Structure 1
């Protein structure tokens, strides 16, 4: 079976060079790997090392040891079916750096209370559906116009729009699937270029938040259900999917697909997701799939 290890360093960091790649290749060979060609996807930024005759988990541990302490991201996978046909992405703290319900709470003096509930949910200490109901209840009475003013603070994490546009440009379908709210996901969908967005519905009456959220809530299992429905719609398989998220409510989705990526993730996701982006940005997901920087959109 043929594998590929992909090393990704922050842009213009000079952390990834020919010597580093040669050291890793030598290490793999010394432990029984048969090496293929090296392929630089972007000079001093991303490089593929192809190999066989060595177990994936063993190779991953060996490379991690070689780059220990260096701010370099790593993926190790089979070379087959590497480029994915569907991208499913969480929004808050993944595509954007903000947590919108927390931002709204801060403006109304209940930021600490809501952030505490959010943190427990993202770490897997509290059921997501229950935590969302609790947080939304605390927002009762806030004017709808506050949502509009809050929209201006939303920003994209580095490389997010390039990830979406590049995958779409090469024929993949892209979906923003969030435990947040449609009011915000619809805007990020357009800004980032996703094909569609799925999220929760904040109930509003007389131009004020009612403190209620539409049911059923889109949480951990629902994210997986959406992913499975998209797979069926596109006539592909779960192995054809790249999914990315940061928190506990993303775990079911990340664990089920061919490339489940933890993005600057909470500890529970770092321990579980097979792929991680810890030091770089969303461009790493493209490099993991074998895209060259010159092919980015």
Structure 2
């Protein structure tokens, strides 16, 4: 897999570095987004391609990630376009996923340091859970699509993994792992990641939308997740 690099004029990383307990004791929990962070694609767009609605869905996704639309509302609007797609789409999409360069390396390095890893996704359990299992990820939260008679209904089941839910997961997982928030790290690229980025001991914008880069304490400017380690020391 070739590295995907952001503009050469930018440094690999910028902003804050690990400090306090995060620097002295090391990270205890890292939580990251999935679409366009852990993986190169947006899962909902891959499903929408089968429904013939990819262009429409991509436009709404982009607006939501820039913070122009309420995420929960935009998710339901996009999911509605998937009605009628066979549930076999999950296996097809899983086979198409491309890990972001450095994803395995980051996870392995963190586990070697005794740090737990979680993913919080605006995507879907049916794809994210098996992906996380393959990578040895410790915590997973994603949305769930309703299926009836072998096809997607165009509805989401249960709670939506939005900005607030991502923050809740970060807090709950940190408590479950016995890790102080000061020793947590959050990594994401979209506006719905800003809550957890602000809550974590160190929040990192990963090749992110401008609104996220502006507000995150630290940023990675290359599509190589191992660069996050440079911020942790």
Give the TM-score normalised by structure 1.
0.72
Q: Does residue 1:185 correspond to 2:125, yes or no? A: no
Return the alpha-carbon distance in structure 2 between the equivalents of residues 139 and 129 of structure 1.
16
Larger Rg: 1
Shift of 1:143: 0.6
Shift of 1:130: 0.3
Among 257, 260, 269, which residue is 2:212 paired with? Answer: 269
Return the alpha-carbon distance in structure 1 between the equivalents of residues 217 and 205 of structure 2.
8
Shift of 1:80: 2.8
What residue in structure 2 maps to residue 77 of structure 1?
Answer: 17
What CA deviation, in whole Å up to 9, does each residue of 1:180-210 have, x standing for no partner? 1001111221232211211111110100001
Among 40, 60, 63, which residue is 1:117 paired with? Answer: 60
Shift of 1:72: 3.5
Among 227, 232, 235, which residue is 2:170 paired with? Answer: 227
Conserved? CA contact 1:123–1:248, under 8 Å = yes
Runs of 4+ residues over 4 Å off in structure 1: none
Q: Residues 66-145 of structure 1: matches in 2 within 5 Å? A: 69-77=9-17, 79-81=19-21, 82=23, 83-145=26-88
Aligned-residue CA RMSD (Å): 1.8
Paired residues, number: 225
Conserved? CA contact 2:51–2:81, under 8 Å = no
Return the alpha-carbon distance in structure 2 between the equivalents of residues 232 and 72 of structure 1.
32
Residues 205 and 78 of structure 1: CA distance in aligned 2, closer, same or farther (over 3 Å): closer
Conserved? CA contact 1:261–1:275, under 8 Å = yes
Conserved? CA contact 1:72–1:280, under 8 Å = no
Q: What's the secondary structure of 1:210's corresponding residue?
A: strand
Return the alpha-carbon distance in structure 2 between the equivalents of residues 169 and 105 of structure 1.
38
Conserved? CA contact 1:85–1:241, under 8 Å = yes
Conserved? CA contact 2:16–2:217, under 8 Å = no
What CA deviation, in whole Å up to 9, does each residue of 1:66-124 have, x standing for no partner? xx935432343364322210010110000001101111212332111111111111000
Q: Residues 185-204 of structure 1: matches in 2 within 5 Å? A: 185-204=128-147
Conserved? CA contact 2:30–2:118, under 8 Å = yes
Return the alpha-carbon distance in structure 1 between the equivalents of residues 106 and 229 of structure 2.
6
Return the alpha-carbon distance in structure 1 between the equivalents of residues 179 and 205 of structure 2.
22
Conserved? CA contact 1:92–1:178, under 8 Å = yes
Return the alpha-carbon distance in structure 1 between the equivalents of residues 18 and 53 of structure 2.
47
What CA deviation, in whole Å up to 9, does each residue of 1:155-182 have, x standing for no partner? 1101111111211121111111111100
Give the number of the structure with larger relative contact order, counting CA–CA contacts within 8 Å between residues 6 or more apart. Answer: 2
What residue in structure 2 maps to residue 213 of structure 1?
Answer: 156
Return the alpha-carbon distance in structure 1 between the equivalents of residues 205 and 10 of structure 2.
18
Structure 2 unaligned blocks of 5 or more:
none
What residue in structure 2 maps to residue 50 of structure 1?
Answer: none
Give the TM-score normalised by structure 2.
0.91
Shift of 1:213: 0.3
